[in-house]
Amino acid sequence: MSERINLGKSAPALYQAVIGLEKLAAEAVASASIPDGFAHLLRLRASQLNQCAFCIRMHTQDALSSGESNDRISILAAWRETGYFTEKERSSLALVEAITLISDGQVPDAIYEQAAANLSKDEISAVEWLAVVINAWNRIATSSRYPVKA
């Protein structure tokens, strides 16, 4: 495999702008009282869907260090089939998935209505921004082929 351009190094100002978005999204998540560990699970779920190994590893480690359990992390890809997540968390996960897979039916009304029924406006906004930013990071890491070595 040929070496790829590292987007962070080739356009540092753009990379710093994404870091700025990340900080603002993290502030919105904190302001909406979304637990840090669960925010990492949301990032992890989007990264799983995008098959971004770099971000999957990072957000798994971050979720663990933020107090998330091995069980919740292990079952995340099949969260709909479990009792590990509250209605609020399920609505957040569904919204992150819909935004991540936006080319497949946009964000369906049913998913947004479920989110509106279970989340505050601030929580919806925070989850949506978190999804936007992690999807940007996934695209940066995968197109640059950030290394993931054992």
Query: Measured between alpha carbons, how far is 148 from 102 in angstroms, rounded to an integer?
Result: 27
Averaged pLDDT of the chain:
95
Query: Measured between alpha carbons, how far is 43 from 38 in angstroms, rounded to an integer?
Result: 9
- pLDDT > 90? residue 110: yes
The structure's pTM equals 0.94
Which is higher by pLDDT, 71 or 148? Answer: 71
Query: Measured between alpha carbons, how far is 115 from 89 in angstroms, rounded to an integer?
Result: 9
Least Cα distance to 140 among 23, 54, 41, 26 occurs for 54
Least Cα distance to 88 among 69, 67, 115, 61 occurs for 115
Tens digit of each residue's pLDDT (9 = 90 or more) over 23-75: 999 999 999 999 999 999 999 999 999 999 999 999 999 999 999 999 999 99
Each domain of the chain, given as residue ranges in start order, spans 7-144
What is the third-level CATH fold of 7-144?
AhpD-like (1.20.1290)
| Block residue for tokens 């590292």 | 6
Q: Is 145 left (phi over 0), alpha (psi -120 to 50) or beta?
A: left
Query: Measured between alpha carbons, how far is 28 from 145 in angstroms, rounded to an integer?
Result: 29
| Block residue for tokens 């098959």 | 51
CA end-to-end span of the chain: 18
Strand, coil or helix: what is 11? coil
